[in-house]
């Protein structure tokens, strides 16, 4: 019968397919998941290149998925107990570190004895530590800056000094003035992504949770002040271009539609890819007014590498980490200038690149600036539910932009967050 | 203008607009494949010169032969198994009617209203416990027993002449032989129409593969375009080329076998 | 068919032919749906679940996201399905008029969207409706909008995009069903109506719609089931945003299981809401259609 013949042929094909699957996973290949080919992917590839020079048999494959996809895949497979599809090394954003470490005990390899963690920035070590074990290879800091087009702001009459040590109210004034004089909105803004609000919030030294990990939203004065400032930005519609998705967000400033991007230092690679040397500069972010301890420095994102216990190549991975990520100062200078990766290895910050002036940013000593701001970021404990709460915040943003009552919105955020963190 | 010619003017107008709007996204897809990502999100609707670059980039980002193989493999195996199981059931229900089986058939009607969303969580845990996440089997197995296709075959079997079966019985054929040697050839066009629809269903399947297929080596075309379009920095030129590749097989089948295609779609109602 | 003719062998054969389908349905449908019912009384994170009584149902009543997803799903249903069915009927009647030229061309063109994969067309729509994309560029060029519409950033317009997309994909599909049914209507009925001087629009409501009632019922129920399960489009066009304005129940179940901290029991509870809704709406639609006969 035709059907059975087809079935037979199909079974043979199936066998062929499983053979194919087997050959792709032979020992010595380190499989890595991360999201940005221009940033963390590029840094990892550079590290592999360096290591490969002395270890020719070493091979590393970088797979790019969106950050959401990386987290969903990791969660799906760890929850289902399937390990075949897991990589050896995965990049996890700092916000999600505790969630993964606590939800899937045993899934990540403790590296406490593999490195000397005192070489790394304390806060990066702390957020990857559960009990007495630390699990990460600390990667980058998300120290924030106000990347602006010095030519456009200059045309509107603003110099670097005008942008230092200001509040968000002043920021909005300047942005309105720039928009009026040059026709360019200051920012691109995706209302689905509350990342910018998160910058404001952390700069106050507060977060969504109190020290016991309980929701701290209603009655959190810093949260309210930060949200009030952010709402003012949302309502000043002439100062931003509404966009949807990351490609449009970055396209707006690399394509010259808007005058600035206010985000983490890791955006440097994207800004440099636009090839507009000398037209860019960086200022510190504005400050939330009226909150004690609020600073002109904050953090957005930042992430670390984690080794999975299911990996067949753990020793090799550890050797690689030790050789490059935990000791190679030159490597860190490379990825700093190339990708804007402000590494967490403290010694690397004494390197030459950190002292240098960057011509792309008009000769500004940007890396020294970022180093200084890095020291001023107020520390917060991200807890395990950052993205759940972010989602609850995102729900209220369009209404706030249309003039909804702030206190009511905060109550709704708390109510929704409470359900999601149950 | 007379009443009648006004009416036909409106008729041609409405149909032309509807036809244009229906076809435009296909045109947009083809044009997009020749443009850069930046041009696409700026709304450029004229042909560009970036087609080859997009193809090269797609090929660099995705193991195309492998992904196409996955899509075809899953769709073909699922389709064959679905047809075998559903046509046997349709035959069983229509030829051997009994009170118990009629009641069972009524039960199937009720099961039509079970949405997949209600099954996905327990199915996921089930396949996870069986260690079958990220396998072809996990995609194929739940798709095989398709109530619509069973309905379709039961309806179609009403037209199957019983004399043929009686004659075959007199010739001493066993029931499964009658099914394979008499029923199957007679019902060829029913099978052909069902093949097209079931193939398309499996080719386009998204939610369950999204949950089950975790590695790039196992991904289907549909999962690949979804992942490419939601990447950190998506290249829409590349996405458009991949979208064409995803759409092409069903489009080709449609244009070659339009009559069977429509017959299959209408099959389960009557 | 005479049931008395069924011998013992016949009976065994009958069961043998339907057994594979029944076993598979039992494993992959009946068992999971029952398990899901049991799970909906369990609470806990990830695989660590314990009996929680009615706590998931209480959580349901306090959950603003669930209410929103339910509201969105019903909004899509109430607005999109009638528009689509109406349009499909009109196109079918227009295409059915015998003197129409280019009939095959029109029919093929309008049906063509039904051939695409849901994900593929979603991606096309996403790019068409991007901030500086084709739709906005056209609106600005035609002078209908000054700065373009913020399609993905505005809760109202994002819903419009989703409704437009689904209507594009399924109108031609439904039209084919009506066309097939129209061809089965005896032409002499229309002849008689014309002789009696009944105008065309009255013919449509007095003859066509009643004659097509069973098909309209079928397509309405299918569209209802499809809309209640909406996932591919919202996942790929808006990701449920902005402000959950396009989040559907299926997507919420997915998020509860695979995106947020896994909450299998609660996800199962939400999924039962869809089961109940599908059952109720199918029943109501059957009832309404039967009543008027």
Q: Is pLDDT above 70 for A3?
A: no
pLDDT at C145 over 50: yes
Partnered with residue A92 across adjacent β-strands are A304
Q: What is the mean pLDDT of residues B33-37?
A: 94
Return the pLDDT at B267.
66
Looking at residue C293, its pLDDT comes to 42
Domain span at residue B210 reads: 26-266
Per-residue pLDDT, averaged over C96-105, amounts to: 86
Spatial separation of the C-alpha atoms in residues B210 and B208, rounded to whole Å: 5
pLDDT of residue A279: 95
Per-residue pLDDT, averaged over C60-88, amounts to: 94
Q: How far is CA A329 from CA A84, A232, A326, A335, in A?
A: 35, 43, 9, 10
Report whether pLDDT(B252) > 50: yes
pLDDT band, very low/low/confident/very high, at B266 (cuts 50, 70, 90): confident
* Cross-strand partners of A63: A33
Contact C242 A397 (CB under 8 A): yes
Contact B118 C33 (CB under 8 A): yes
Does residue B37 fall inside a structural domain?
yes
- Within 194-233 of B, beta carbons closer than 8 Å to C belong to 200, 203-204, 206-207, 211, 222, 225-226, 229-230
A13 pLDDT more than 60: no
**Is the CB of C242 less than 8 angstroms away from the CB of A76?**
no
Which residue out of A99, A193, A242 would a mutagenesis test of the C interface target, given it has the greatest number of C Cβ atoms within 10 Å? A242
The pTM score is 0.89
Q: Do domains A21-141+301-350 and A144-300+370-420 have the same CATH topology?
A: yes
Find all residues with CB under 8 Å of B118, minimum gap 6, and list them: C33, C36, C268, C271, C272, C274, C275
The two tokens of residue C27 are: 């494993």
Query: According to the model, what pLDDT value does residue A37 have?
Result: 84
Find, in chain C, the residue whose alpha carbon is nearest to that of B16: C106
B86 contacts chain A (CB < 8 A): no
For an interface test with B, give the residue of C23, C117, C218, C268 to mutate (most B CBs within 10 A): C117
pLDDT for C50 equals: 81
* Among candidates C64, C153, C155 on the partner chain, residue whose Cβ is nearest the Cβ of A242: C153
Predicted pLDDT at C286: 78
Q: Which chains touch C (3 or more CB pairs under 8 A)?
A: A, B
CA pair distance B193, B79, nearest whole angstrom: 12
Q: Which chain C residues contact residue B246 at CB under 8 A? A: 117, 119-120
Average pLDDT over residues C192-200: 84
- In chain A, which residue's Cα lies nearest the Cα of C126? A244
pLDDT, one tens digit per residue, over A234-261 is 999 999 999 988 888 999 999 999 999 9
pLDDT of amino acid A159: 94
Q: What's the gap in Å between the CA of B231 and the closest CA on chain A?
A: 5
pLDDT tens for each residue of A258-288: 999 999 999 998 898 888 999 999 999 999 9
The whole-angstrom distance between A65's CA and the closest CA on chain B is: 6
| CA distance linking residue A285 with residue A295, whole number of Å | 9
When the pLDDT of each residue in chain C is averaged and rounded to a whole number, the result is: 89
B269 has a pLDDT exceeding 70: no
pLDDT at site B106:
87
Q: Are B208 and B127 in contact (CB under 8 A)?
A: no
What average pLDDT does range B257-269 have in this prediction? 74
- Is the preceding omega at residue C242 within 30 degrees of 0, hence cis? yes
- Fold annotation for A144-300+370-420: D-Maltodextrin-Binding Protein; domain 2 (3.40.190)
- Predicted local confidence at residue B38, as pLDDT: 87
Tell me how close the Cα of B214 comes to any Cα of chain A, in angstroms. Answer: 6
Asked whether residue B101 is domain-assigned, the answer is yes
User: For residue B162, what are its two tokens?
Assistant: 């019983």
Q: Which residue has the higher pLDDT, A247 or A228?
A: A228
As a whole number, mean pLDDT of residues C92-118 equals 91
Per CATH, the homologous superfamily of domain C63-291 is MetI-like (1.10.3720.10)
Q: Point out which residues pair with A307 in neighbouring strands.
A: A89
Is the distance from CB of B108 to CB of B147 less than 8 angstroms? yes
In three-state secondary structure terms, A284 is coil
Report d(CA A295, CA A200) in Å as an integer.
Answer: 9
The proportion of chain B whose per-residue pLDDT surpasses 70, expressed as a percent, equals 97
Please list the alpha-helical segments (H only) found in A90-130: 94-103, 122-126
- Structural domain boundaries in chain A: 21-141+301-350, 144-300+370-420
Average pLDDT, chain A: 89
Write out residues 34-73 of A within 8 Å (CB-CB) of B: 35-38, 63-69, 73
Lowest mean pLDDT among A178-192, A373-387, C41-55, C109-123: C41-55
Q: How far is CA A40 from CA A140, A222, A303, A393, C61, in A?
A: 9, 32, 9, 27, 42
Query: How many whole angstroms separate alpha carbon B186 and alpha carbon B164?
Result: 10
Q: How many B/C residue pairs have CB atoms within 8 Å? A: 267
C-beta atoms of B73 and A73 within 8 A: no
Instruction: Give, for A187, the enclosing helix (H) or strand (E).
Output: strand A187-189
Residues 58-97 of C with CB under 8 A from A: 59, 62-66, 68
DSSP designation for C151: T
pLDDT at A63 over 90: no
- List, for residues C227-255, the tens digit of each pLDDT value: 989 999 999 999 998 999 999 999 999 99
Percentage with pLDDT > 90 across chain A: 65
**Does A3 contact B at CB distance below 8 Å?**
yes
So what's the pLDDT on residue C5? 53
pLDDT in tens, A312-341: 999 999 999 999 999 999 999 999 988 889
Quote the pLDDT of residue A14. 43
Domain count along chain B: 1
| Model confidence band, residue C198 (pLDDT cutoffs 50, 70, 90) | confident
Picking from A17-26, A130-139, A344-353, which range would have the lowest pLDDT averaged per residue?
Answer: A17-26
Cα gap B24→B75, rounded to integer Å:
28
Per-residue pLDDT tens digits for B114-149? 888 889 889 988 998 888 888 999 999 999 999 989
**B211 in contact with chain A, both atoms CB, cutoff 8 A:** yes
Question: Considering the domain boundaries, does residue B125 fall inside one?
Answer: yes
Residue A412 has pLDDT above 50, yes or no: yes
Residue C99 has pLDDT above 90, yes or no: no
Residue showing tokens 């080794």: A307
> Torsions phi, psi of C165, nearest 5?
-60, -50
Q: Does B180 touch chain A (CB under 8 A)?
A: yes
Instruction: Evaluate if residue B18 carries a pLDDT over 60.
Output: yes
Determine whether domain A21-141+301-350 maps to CATH 3.30.70.270.
Answer: no
CATH value at residue B100: 1.10.3720.10
Percent of chain A with pLDDT over 70: 93
ipTM value greater than 0.85: yes
What residue in A sits closest to C241 (Cα-Cα)? A192
Q: Which residue has the tokens 């398709």?
A: B146
Q: Given A398, A420, A422, which is nearest C243 (Cβ)?
A: A398
Residue C1: pLDDT over 80:
no
CB under 8 A, 24+ apart: contacts of A64-68: A64/A34, A64/A35, A64/A36, A64/A37, A64/B231, A64/B232, A65/A33, A65/A35, A65/B227, A65/B231, A66/A35, A66/B227, A66/B230, A66/B231, A66/B232, A67/A35, A67/A93, A67/B232, A68/B230, A68/C259
CB A86 within 8 A of CB A308: yes
Q: Are strands A187-189 and A240-242 parallel, antiparallel or unpaired?
A: parallel
Domain boundaries, chain C: 63-291
If one compares B267 and B259, the residue with the highest pLDDT of the two is B259
Measured between CB atoms, does A77 come within 8 Å of chain B?
Answer: yes
Chain B hits for A247, CB-CB cut-off 8 Å, are 37, 41, 233-234, 236
Chain C residues closer than 8 Å to B88 by CB? 17-18, 20-21
- Rounded to 5°, the CA angle A243-A248-A254 comes to 120
| For chain C, percent of residues with pLDDT exceeding 90 | 56
Average pLDDT over residues A38-60: 92
Give pLDDT, residue A11: 42
Whether B80 maps to a domain, the answer reads yes
* Touching chains, B (3+ CB pairs < 8 A): A, C
pLDDT-based confidence at B42, cuts 50/70/90? Answer: confident
In our burial notation (b when 16+ CB lie closer than 10 A, e otherwise), range C63-87 reads: bbbbebbbebbebbbeebbeebbeb
pLDDT of residue A200 exceeding 90: yes
pLDDT at C42: 87
The pLDDT confidence band at residue A38, using thresholds 50, 70 and 90, is: confident
Q: Chain A residue closest to C156 (CA)?
A: A398
């Amino acid at each position: 019968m035709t059907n059975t013949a087809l079935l037979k042929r199909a079974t043979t094909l199936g066998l062929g397919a499983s053979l194919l699957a087997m050959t792709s996973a032979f020992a010595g290949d380190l499989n890595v998941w991360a999201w940005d080919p221009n940033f963390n992917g590029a840094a990892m590839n550079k590290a592999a290149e360096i290591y490969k020079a002395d270890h020719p048999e070493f091979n590393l494959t970088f797979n790019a998925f969106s950050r959401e996809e990386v987290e969903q895949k990791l969660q799906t497979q760890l929850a289902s107990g399937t390990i075949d599809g897991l990589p050896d090394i995965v990049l996890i954003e700092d916000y999600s570190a505790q969630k993964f470490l606590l939800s899937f005990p045993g899934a990540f390899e403790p590296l406490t004895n593999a490195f000397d963690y005192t070489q790394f920035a304390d806060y990066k070590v702390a957020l990857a530590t559960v009990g007495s074990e630390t699990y990460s290879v600390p990667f980058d800091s998300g120290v924030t800056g106000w990347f602006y087009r010095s030519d456009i702001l200059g045309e509107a009459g603003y110099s670097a000094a005008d942008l230092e040590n200001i509040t968000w109210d002043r920021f909005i004034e300047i942005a309105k003035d720039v928009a009026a004089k040059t026709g360019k909105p200051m920012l691109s803004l995706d209302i689905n992504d509350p990342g910018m609000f998160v910058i404001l919030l952390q700069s106050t030294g507060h977060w969504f949770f109190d020290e016991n990990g309980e929701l701290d939203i209603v009655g959190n004065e810093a949260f309210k002040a930060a949200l009030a400032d952010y709402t003012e930005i949302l309502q000043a519609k002439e100062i931003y271009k509404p966009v949807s998705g990351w490609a449009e967000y970055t396209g707006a400033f690399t394509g010259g539609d808007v005058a600035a991007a206010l985000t983490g230092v890791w955006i440097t690679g994207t800004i440099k890819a636009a090839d507009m040397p000398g037209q860019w500069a960086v200022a510190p972010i504005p400050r939330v007014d009226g909150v004690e301890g609020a600073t002109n420095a904050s953090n957005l994102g930042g992430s670390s590498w984690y080794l999975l216990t299911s990996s067949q190549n753990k020793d090799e991975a550890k050797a690689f980490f030790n050789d490059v990520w935990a000791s190679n100062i030159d490597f860190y200078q490379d990825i700093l200038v190339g990708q804007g990766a402000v590494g967490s290895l403290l010694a690397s910050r004494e390197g030459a690149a950190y002292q240098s002036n960057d011509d792309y940013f008009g000769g500004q000593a940007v890396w020294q600036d970022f180093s200084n701001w890095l020291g001023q970021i107020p520390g917060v404990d991200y807890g395990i539910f950052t993205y759940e709460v972010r989602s609850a915040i995102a729900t209220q943003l369009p209404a706030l932009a249309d003039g909804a009552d702030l206190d009511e919105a905060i109550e709704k955020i708390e109510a929704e967050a409470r359900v999601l963190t149950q | 203008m007379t009443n009648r010619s006004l009416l036909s003017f409106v008729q041609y107008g409405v149909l032309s607009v509807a036809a244009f709007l229906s076809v435009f996204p296909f045109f947009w897809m083809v044009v997009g494949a020749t443009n850069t990502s930046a041009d696409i999100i700026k709304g450029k609707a004229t042909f560009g010169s970036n087609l080859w670059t997009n193809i090269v980039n797609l090929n660099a980002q995705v193991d195309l032969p492998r992904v196409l193989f996955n899509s075809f493999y899953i769709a073909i195996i699922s389709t064959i198994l679905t047809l075998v199981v559903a046509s046997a059931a349709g035959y069983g229900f229509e030829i051997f009617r009994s009170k118990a089986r009629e009641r069972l058939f009524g039960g199937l009607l009720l099961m039509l209203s079970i949405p997949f969303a209600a099954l996905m969580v327990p199915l996921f845990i089930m396949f996870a416990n069986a260690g079958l996440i990220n396998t072809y089997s996990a995609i194929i197995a739940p798709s095989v027993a398709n109530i619509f296709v069973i309905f379709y075959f039961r309806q179609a079997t009403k037209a199957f002449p019983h004399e043929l079966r009686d004659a075959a019985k007199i010739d001493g054929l066993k029931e499964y032989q009658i099914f394979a040697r008499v029923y199957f050839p007679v019902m060829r066009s029913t099978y052909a129409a069902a093949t097209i629809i079931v193939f398309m269903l499996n080719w386009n399947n998204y939610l369950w593969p999204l949950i089950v297929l975790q590695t790039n080596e196992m991904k289907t075309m549909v999962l690949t375009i979804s992942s490419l379009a939601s990447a950190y920095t998506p290249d829409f030129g590349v996405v458009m080329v991949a979208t064409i590749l995803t759409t092409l097989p069903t489009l080709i089948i449609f244009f070659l076998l339009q009559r069977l295609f429509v017959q299959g779609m209408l099959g389960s109602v009557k | 068919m005479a049931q008395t003719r069924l011998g013992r062998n016949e009976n065994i054969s009958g069961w043998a032919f339907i057994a594979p389908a029944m076993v598979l349905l039992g494993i992959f449908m009946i068992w999971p749906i029952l398990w899901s019912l049991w799970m909906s009384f369990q609470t806990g994170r990830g695989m660590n679940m314990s009996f929680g009584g009615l706590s998931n149902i209480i959580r349901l009543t306090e959950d603003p996201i669930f209410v929103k997803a339910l509201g969105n799903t019903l909004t899509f249903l109430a607005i999109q399905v009638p528009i689509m069915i109406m349009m499909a009927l009109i196109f079918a009647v227009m295409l059915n008029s015998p003197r129409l030229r280019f009939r095959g061309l029109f029919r093929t063109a309008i049906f063509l969207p039904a051939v695409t994969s849901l994900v593929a067309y979603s991606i096309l729509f996403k790019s068409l409706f991007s901030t500086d994309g084709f739709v906005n560029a056209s609106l600005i060029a035609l002078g209908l909008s000054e700065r373009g519409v913020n399609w993905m950033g505005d809760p109202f317009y994002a819903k419009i995009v989703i409704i437009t997309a689904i209507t594009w994909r399924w109108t031609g599909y439904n039209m084919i069903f009506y066309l097939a049914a129209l061809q089965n209507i005896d032409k002499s009925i229309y002849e008689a109506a014309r002789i009696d001087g009944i105008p065309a629009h009255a013919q449509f409501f007095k003859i066509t719609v009643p004659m097509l009632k069973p098909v309209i019922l079928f397509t309405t129920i299918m569209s209802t089931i499809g809309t209640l399960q909406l996932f591919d489009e919202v996942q790929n066009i808006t990701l449920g945003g902005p402000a959950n304005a396009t989040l559907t129940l299926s997507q919420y179940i997915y998020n509860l299981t695979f995106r947020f901290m896994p909450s299998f029991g609660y996800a199962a509870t939400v999924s039962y809401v869809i089961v109940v809704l599908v059952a109720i709406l199918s029943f109501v639609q059957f009832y309404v259609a039967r009543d008027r006969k």
